[in-house]
Amino acid sequence: MGACALMSLFNISISFANPVKDSIDIGFKIVEQKLNKNLDSLYASWIVQQGLKDSVFVDDIATDSLLVLEDDSIISVPGSDSLYIERLSLIESPMKISYNKIVGNFIRAYTTKHSKKVEAMLGISEYYFPIFEEALDKKQMPLELKYLPVIESALNPRAVSRAGATGLWQFMYGTGKFCKLNITSYIDERRDPIKSTYAAIQYLDDLYKIYGDWMLVIAAYNCGPGNVNKAIRRANGRRDYWDIYYFLPRETRGYVPSFIAAMYTFEYYKEHNLTPSKIEWPILTDTLMINQDVHFRQISDIIGVPLEQIRDLNPQYRRDFIPAKNKDYPLCLPYKYTGKFIDSEDSIYSHQREKYHSSAFTQVDPKSRSRFLLDPPAGHVAVKYTVKQGDYLGYISEWFNVGVSELRHWNRLRGNMIRVGQKLTIYVPAKKASHYSKFNSMTFAQKQKSDSKTVSTPVEKTAKGNVIYYTVKKGDTLWDISRLYPGVTIASIVESNNLGSSKKIKPGQKLRIKVGS
């Protein structure tokens, strides 16, 4: 059967109308670069490398550069176009499958440049495709839609695009929430192979109800129905993908051709001598429902399942942690480990619990956490002092020979403001308690004279106010001292004590402070 007859029978169309060449290259490059990034990530994953570690064809991923076509480097293999057309025409699908040089370039990229990584995808598809096919079959949708995650994420559930699209089906945050996928700090169901698959298929079904054409559905899945609707309007209402091709965003121009190429590659990989890689993936798995929070390392340490394997089987958990406090969560394990988990469940939950769980800190009493600041120093007792007219914290700290910061802590003061009649708790040496207790009945002058160790000169009366002497303590700054006395500034202290431009002070130094007016 000739190529023309095949095209007519199977609705295969080929176009060599040669669209604007820059548009072909750019659409190809954008999708191809995204594919290459996800392929690199998948190829470097634990499950792939475990399967390939004994293989002779493991290559250096870091040196496998992007395939970037130059303006004159459209790949062409003699006779390949007719071969691709014939093979595509034999694919039984309700989808309209088209062919042109854009599709051909993607086929060649899959089957040549990225052949080893495509072999890894072929291997891992044995795990994912049954999930996709079952969900598609339930909705009676084309099974070929299973190839969408190939171009979306390279079958990498942890794939994240520059725009934030996540998972096998590359849901954006808003679309994921709209599709009722749970997204929290610990869980991202966009990365859950099963839940994201059912959400994506429902979304695709909704799009098909709008367009009635699967290629337009695939385009809308990539760029959104809004962009497809705009392209249809600009194409005078035409509703064929290739009719609206030039009105679509550049990435979407390469998206449908890439999908067709992925379909071709997975259907005809044997004809290109591609062999699915042996993937270290447990085909037999079992899912347990967990009702206590648990860390992956607790599971790995107790029953011996490799940590990376737990991660690969449970990609929806973002921090290796299942937060099963208020509801049950699924845990997927290789079947041979499920019995061990059930037998050792209590040991798993209790293993190094303090290391992996912070429940002990969910309720905090600030008073109990800061009580060490309120307790008296050893050998000290509390006395009560009633604030009098003219008292400042700076005065009181000097009289009782304590720090201003200590007065604040003991009395839970945020600043230096105190009021007349306020009762302050002050901790003093027990042997001097009776001495300090008398301060409540002493005059201001008597208190100023009471401690010759810290105050050597009484208050001086001047025409412009009173002068007191402050003894500098360790850690004091001019700013701290100025705040102790209302109306006192750093400049006035510097001037009164001839400190000069250095403004240096040291513990034990007595400063002359002008207060009042």
Residues with catalytic roles = 152
Nearest CA among 414, 310, 295, 400 for reference residue 355: 295
CA distance 44 to 29: 22
CA distance 335 to 332: 9
Nearest CA among 262, 305, 268, 223 for reference residue 121: 262
Nearest CA among 292, 342, 314, 242 for reference residue 15: 242
Q: Which residues pair with 470 in a beta bridge?
A: 511
Provide the strand spans (E) within 305-456.
321-322, 329-334, 380-386, 423-429
Total residues found in the chain within this entry: 517
**What is the dihedral angle through the alpha carbons of 413, 416, 419, 425, rounded to the nearest 10 degrees?**
50
Q: Which tokens is 428 given?
A: 């003093």
Do residues 155 and 167 lie in contact, with contact meaning Cβ atoms separated by under 8 Å?
A: no
Judged by DSSP in three states, 49 sits in helix
**Angle at alpha carbon of residue 36, lines to 33 and 42, rounded to 5°:** 145
**Tokens 């994921």 sit on residue:** 176
Give the list of residues 6+ apart from residue 414 with CB closer than 8 angstroms, or none.
408
Provide the strand spans (E) within 253-307.
285-290, 294-295
The DSSP secondary structure of 401-425, one letter per residue, reads T--HHHHHHHHT-SSS---TT-EEE
**Tokens 């096998």 sit on residue:** 168
- Specify burial of residue 86 (Cβ count, 10 A radius: 0-12, 13-18, 19+): middle
Do residues 154 and 42 lie in contact, with contact meaning Cβ atoms separated by under 8 Å?
A: yes
Judged by DSSP in three states, 397 sits in helix
